[in-house]
Amino acid sequence: MKNYLITGVLLMLTGVLLGAFGAHSLKEVISEEKLISFETGVRYQMIHGIALLVLVGLTRALEGFQVKNSTIFLMTLGVLLFSGSIYLLALQEIFGVGLTFLWPITPLGGLMIIVSWGLVLYSVIKWKE
């Protein structure tokens, strides 16, 4: 679980950095629409960074409550694919290359996040207080 705690903290750290980068450096270089997409990636990354920290804490604090490592891994991978693809698609003009082939990765990452939350729900339902 320590690795997932570290992952949650890293998601938060890089989320703050990317949020600041978006707010202070991207306004003049990308369209407002792409900036909004970039901010969506940051928001999902931050929310799920907090979620990982909470899930690790709950697994440690509540007797008998356990979220499987595979669930946390799926959530982490989903966030990386979802937010990462949004970042790259929003910044493709800056890179000077077309990255539109990445668009299917965004919903795939979103689906992984949804499934991971379904698995968290399953963990809560099967938890015996």
Average pLDDT, the chain: 93
Is residue 29 classed as helix, strand or coil in its secondary structure? coil
> Would you state the pLDDT for residue 27?
87
pLDDT at 16: 98
Q: What is the pLDDT of residues 11-29, one digit of tens each?
A: 999 999 999 999 999 988 9
Domain locations along the chain: 2-126
Res. 45 pLDDT band, cuts 50 70 90: very high
Number of Cα atoms under 13 Å in the Cβ half of residue 126: 9
Query: What is d(CA 127, CA 55) in angstroms, rounded to the nearest whole number?
Result: 14
What digits encode the pLDDT tens for the residues 67-81?
Answer: 888 999 999 999 999
